[in-house]
Structures are given as C-alpha cells and as structure tokens.
Amino acid sequence: MKTSFTKKNGAIFIILFFLLIQSIQIDKTNQAVNQTQDFISVTSAHQDIENVLKSACYDCHSNQSHYPWYANVAPVSWLIKHHINEGREHLNFSLWGIYSEKQKHHKIEECIEVIEEGEMPMTSYTWMHKEAKLTDDQKMQLISFFKGLQYSASLSKIEETH
C-alpha cells in the first residue's frame, strides 16, 4: 500500500512540476532586420543559396527565427532558445553588413569548416526540420559560394594595395 501511495504522489508531483514550469516562457521576439545589412543582400546570394541558407541556417543564425509549436513547451523551449542565442552569438547573418572584414573572413572560414565536417546544420535540428538536412549537392553549393566570397575578398584586398 505504501509503495502505490508513494508512486501516486511522485506522479502527481511530476505533473504539477511540469505544469508549473510552463509559466516560464522564452522570449520569441526577433530583432528588426535591416535588409541592407543581411548576408543575402550584402553578398547578392543567388536564389538557390538563399533558399538553402533560409531553410538550414537562418532559424538559429539570424534575427529571422521561426519558432515551431513545441517552442511553447518547457523545458524544450529553453533548449531551443539556448541554441538560437548561441547560434546568433557565433554568426548572425542579419548583422553581416556590420561585421569587420576580418570578422567576415573568419566567419566564412568557419562556415566552410562546419559544413565540410557535417557539424551544421546540427543533427538535433534536422530531426525536426527535414528540409534543413543538406544534400551533398547543397553542401558543395554552399562551400563553393563561401569560397567564392573568400576569393572576392582577397581580390579586393589586392586591389586596395595597388
């Protein structure tokens, strides 16, 4: 008898705790985006590149995040918000135009690296966002695009010194 009473109390406690933590909601407000500073505008990215970036990268790496329904359920919402905050801290495509040339160069190098190594988009993200899973062709497109940006930046530096 005592065991079932303890199990029942434990179950009630878990349910009440789950309901209580729902009152701790995340801030899902996106900062305003100045399109003239956004990566796609600044780099004049082709439509194919834009589509891939928006489906695989922009939810965590821009101020244009789209929050799914489960972003309303704690503690999952807390994890999502943490991922978005961390993603924006490392690279925010919405702020591309305000990065220094050195920052841009470094971030492009990192983009190439994480795509080549299969680190991005994160597996935990692609589980729920199948459209974000990059095909080999999409990976090559992005890598080529980023390498092209590196090459263009190198040419600009050479032209500035002459």
Nearest of 113, 132, 140, 141 to residue 47 by alpha carbon: 141
Separation CA 114–CA 127 (nearest Å): 18
The residues spanned by each domain of the chain are: 28-161
Residue keyed to tokens 């530096």: 157
pLDDT in tens, 98-137: 999 999 999 999 999 999 999 999 988 888 889 999 999 9
Separation CA 110–CA 142 (nearest Å): 12
CA 17 to chain centre: 30
What average pLDDT is seen over the chain? 89
Upper half-sphere CA count for residue 131 (Cβ side, 13 Å): 8
pLDDT in tens, 64-73: 999 999 999 9
- Judge residue 58's burial from the number of C-beta atoms within 10 Å of its C-beta, 0-12 exposed, 13-18 middle, 19 or more buried: buried
pTM over 0.75: yes
Separation CA 37–CA 52 (nearest Å): 19
